[in-house]
């Protein structure tokens, strides 16, 4: 059955001239399209992002925890050692100075001995030296000069650490601070307080280089980073393979169902294995089988019906011709009959005529269905064709009180078409317009453009309900079948017109407003191979109101 047409529905879209747009501006759109269209890419991207995030969080946590562990163990080691060294020094001072009355030289000797002792017993790696400073603000009998081992980075001992050390009361407490060496390496500064008999309080400082711990941490972090990256890549690859395994059959199913929907009924999905995908394939194929069977059955049925209509129409032709001839004889002699018989002869005559038209229409429809129709193309001037058709319909129009006016814009109207079919379309449209035009003027516009020619038949009659608009092209459909018809009336006219238009690769479209009239527009391509971009005539055609008034008079 031909598809009903409504205004502009089947018109191909107008192509805009190519805009000059920088290439990069198209990228976000393309990427979005790729993202939405590619399930595999989307799944891999989401998995890689999420696992990357998880690996990053885990890696950061591990790095921080390893770092603090390393620092803590070094700190404990350093504190234990400096605490031991402090006690050792304090013991040394106490034991040696308790017995003698030290002179200044002795004291210096002692402090140097203490420093070298500490250095000698130091086992912790990274020790950068020891220093003994005198606590400020004390008055004592003797004083010991501050001394430090060679290379001791005294500049890292901050005032803050010194203050903390000065606040202690004895060697039992050891203070520490994280510092930075002049070359940027991390270090630990440790300080404690010594009490030297007669000489007052002295501060003992140690500095330990933590560079080796930092290097270990950097190595661990690098390993974590490389490991994490490798893990994420591995997860991405595994996801890609898994998704490919799952999506592959689904993609095949989608392709097959698309082909099936496009009419390739023999298409099937390959059935492999026992899993859920195989079950899907089996049920899909089962569905396709029964669909194919039903469609084949229906097709055969429809072919049978078409054959039946064609055969019956054909068979009816001979008896109908005989009836018509007999009827004509009776009709010609009606004047000699009594009135009632004469009326019957007239009735027989008109009904036989209608029967003949119906039969011709039915035969034409069955020829369309059998695909046995071929265009008889010849160069034709569309305006002249329209004028001829209008002229032949003029008597019928006058009978109904309608005035038909042809409005032809200037243009090139010489087109290759089948004039018999196009004339038939126009005659049907004019017949309909006269029949439903309520005696109001009918305007036939003809126009052309670069790749199409068109005519439109506009009446100002009863119009067609919006709900009915989609059905006007259906076979045997009539808005009001009970309405008495003077022209035609089988309901096949528009169905045949639509088939004729399609044969020309043209479009037959309708616009209508109840009470305001109807407009049918036929657009034909100049070249059968080229599609129509836009029709030369608007639907409905614009018409000045005063012009209408003029032709009404």
CB of 488 to ligand ATP, least distance (A): 2
Q: Which residues contact 193 (CB under 8 A, 6 or more apart)?
A: 135, 165, 166, 168, 169, 170, 171, 173, 201, 202, 203, 204
Of the candidate residues 366, 432, 445, 512, the single one contacting Mg ion (CB under 5 A):
432
Q: By CB under 5 A, tell whether 493 contacts Mg ion.
A: yes
Instruction: Give the Cα separation of 299 and 372 in Å (integer).
Output: 17
CB of 309 to ligand ATP, least distance (A): 15
Q: Helices 276-332 and 211-261 meet at what angle, rounded to 10?
A: 30
Put residue 487 in one of left, alpha, beta given phi > 0 → left and psi -120 to 50 → alpha. Answer: beta
In the complex with ligand ATP, the residue whose CB is nearer, 134 or 440, is: 440
Q: Helices 211-261 and 39-99 meet at what angle, rounded to 10?
A: 170
Pick from Mg ion, ligand ATP, none: which does 499 bind, CB < 5 to 8 A by kind?
A: none
Instruction: Count the site residues for Mg ion by CB under 5 A.
Output: 4
Beta bridge partners of 20: none
In the complex with ligand ATP, the residue whose CB is nearer, 235 or 433, is: 433
CB of 373 to ligand ATP, least distance (A): 17
In the complex with ligand ATP, the residue whose CB is nearer, 55 or 494, is: 494
Pick from ligand ATP, Mg ion, none: which does 439 bind, CB < 5 to 8 A by kind?
A: none
Kindly list the distances between the CA atom of residue 279 and the CA atoms of 114, 250, 267, 272, 276, in Å, as whole numbers in the listed order.
Answer: 87, 12, 17, 9, 5
In the complex with ligand ATP, the residue whose CB is nearer, 102 or 461, is: 461
Task: Determine how many CB atoms are found less than 10 A away from the CB of residue 321.
Answer: 12
CB of 358 to ligand ATP, least distance (A): 8
Compute the C-alpha angle 505/507/511, nearest 5°.
Answer: 175
Footprint (CB under 5 A) of Mg ion, residues 463-492: 488
Q: Give the contact letters, 366-395, x = binds to Mg ion (CB under 5 A), - = no.
A: ------------------------------
Pick from ligand ATP, Mg ion, none: which does 462 bind, CB < 5 to 8 A by kind?
A: ligand ATP
Instruction: Give the Cα separation of 472 and 332 in Å (integer).
Output: 38
Q: In a 3-state reduction of DSSP, which class is residue 308? A: helix
Pick from Mg ion, ligand ATP, none: which does 472 bind, CB < 5 to 8 A by kind?
A: ligand ATP
Of the candidate residues 428, 448, 497, 523, the single one contacting Mg ion (CB under 5 A):
428
CB of 357 to ligand ATP, least distance (A): 7
HEC string of 447-464 equals EECCCEEEEEEEECCCCC
Token code pair at residue 384: 């002249």
DSSP string for residues in 339-366: HHHHHHHHHHHHHHHHHHHHHHHHHHHH
Q: By CB under 5 A, tell whether 506 contacts Mg ion.
A: no
Stretch that binds Mg ion, among 188-196, 353-361, 367-375, 425-433 (CB under 5 A): 425-433
Location of structure tokens 């017109």: 497
In the complex with ligand ATP, the residue whose CB is nearer, 354 or 530, is: 354
In the complex with ligand ATP, the residue whose CB is nearer, 217 or 464, is: 464
Sequence-ordered strand ranges (E) for 159-257: 174-180, 186-196, 200-209
Looking at residue 8, the DSSP 8-state letter turns out to be T
Residues that bind ligand ATP (CB under 6 A): 361, 428, 432-433, 436, 459, 461-464, 472, 477-479, 488-495, 518
Pick from ligand ATP, Mg ion, none: which does 203 bind, CB < 5 to 8 A by kind?
A: none
Q: In a 3-state reduction of DSSP, which class is residue 87? A: helix
CB of 400 to ligand ATP, least distance (A): 12
In the complex with ligand ATP, the residue whose CB is nearer, 81 or 500, is: 500
Which residue has its beta carbon closest to Mg ion?
493
In the complex with ligand ATP, the residue whose CB is nearer, 209 or 361, is: 361
Binding residues vs Mg ion (CB under 5 A):
428, 432, 488, 493
């Amino acid at each position: 059955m031909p598809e009903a047409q409504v205004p502009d529905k089947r018109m191909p879209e107008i192509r805009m001239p190519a805009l000059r747009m920088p290439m990069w501006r198209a990228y976000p759109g393309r990427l979005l399209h790729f993202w939405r269209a590619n399930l595999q890419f989307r799944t891999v991207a989401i998995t890689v992002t999420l696992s990357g995030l998880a690996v990053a969080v885990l890696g950061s946590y591990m790095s921080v925890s390893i770092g603090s562990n390393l620092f803590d163990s070094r700190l404990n080691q350093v504190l234990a050692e400096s605490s031991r060294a402090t006690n050792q020094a304090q013991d040394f001072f106490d034991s040696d100075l308790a017995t003698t009355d030290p002179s200044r030289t002795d004291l210096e000797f002692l402090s140097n001995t203490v420093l070298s002792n500490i250095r000698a017993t130091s086992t912790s790696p990274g020790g950068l030296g020891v220093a003994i400073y005198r606590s400020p603000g004390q008055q004592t009998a003797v004083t010991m000069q501050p001394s430090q081992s060679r290379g001791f980075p005294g500049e890292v001992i901050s005032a803050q650490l010194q203050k903390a050390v000065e606040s202690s009361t004895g060697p039992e407490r050891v203070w520490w601070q994280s510092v930075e060496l002049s070359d940027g390496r991390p270090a630990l500064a440790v300080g404690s307080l010594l009490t030297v008999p007669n000489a007052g309080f002295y501060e003992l400082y140690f500095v330990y280089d933590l560079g080796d711990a930092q290097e270990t941490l950097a190595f661990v972090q690098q390993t974590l980073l490389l490991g994490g990256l490798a893990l994420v890549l591995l997860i991405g690859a595994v996801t890609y393979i898994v998704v490919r395994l799952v999506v592959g059959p689904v993609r095949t199913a989608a392709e097959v169902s698309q082909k099936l929907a496009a009419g390739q009924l023999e298409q099937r999905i390959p059935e492999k294995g026992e899993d859920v995908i195989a079950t899907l394939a089996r049920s899909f194929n089962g569905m396709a089988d029964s669909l194919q069977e039903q469609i084949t059955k229906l097709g055969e049925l429809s072919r049978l019906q078409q054959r039946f209509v064609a055969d019956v129409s054909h068979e009816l032709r001979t008896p109908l011709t005989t009836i018509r001839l007999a009827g004509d004889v009776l009709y010609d002699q009606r004047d000699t009959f009594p009135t009632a018989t004469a009326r019957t002869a007239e009735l027989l005559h008109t009904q036989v005529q209608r029967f003949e038209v119906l039969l011709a229409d039915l035969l034409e429809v069955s020829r369309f269905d059998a695909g046995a129709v071929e265009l008889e193309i010849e160069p034709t001037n569309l305006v002249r064709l329209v004028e001829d058709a209008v002229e032949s319909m003029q008597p019928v129009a006058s009978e109904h009180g309608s005035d038909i006016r042809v409005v032809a814009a200037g243009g090139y109207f010489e087109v290759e078409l089948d004039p018999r079919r196009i004339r038939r379309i126009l005659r049907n449209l004019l017949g309909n317009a006269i029949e439903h035009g309520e005696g109001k003027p009918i305007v036939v516009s003809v126009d052309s453009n670069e790749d199409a020619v068109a005519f439109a038949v506009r009446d100002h009659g009863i119009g067609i309900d919006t709900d009915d608009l989609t059905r006007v092209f259906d076979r045997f459909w009539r808005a009001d079948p009970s309405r008495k018809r003077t022209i035609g009336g089988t309901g096949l006219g528009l169905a045949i017109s639509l088939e004729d238009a399609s044969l020309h690769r043209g479009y037959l479209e309708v616009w209508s407003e109840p009470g305001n009239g109807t407009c049918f527009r036929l657009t034909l391509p100049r070249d059968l191979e080229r599609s129509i971009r836009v029709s030369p005539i608007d639907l409905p055609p614009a018409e000045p109101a005063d012009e209408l008034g003029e032709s009404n008079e």
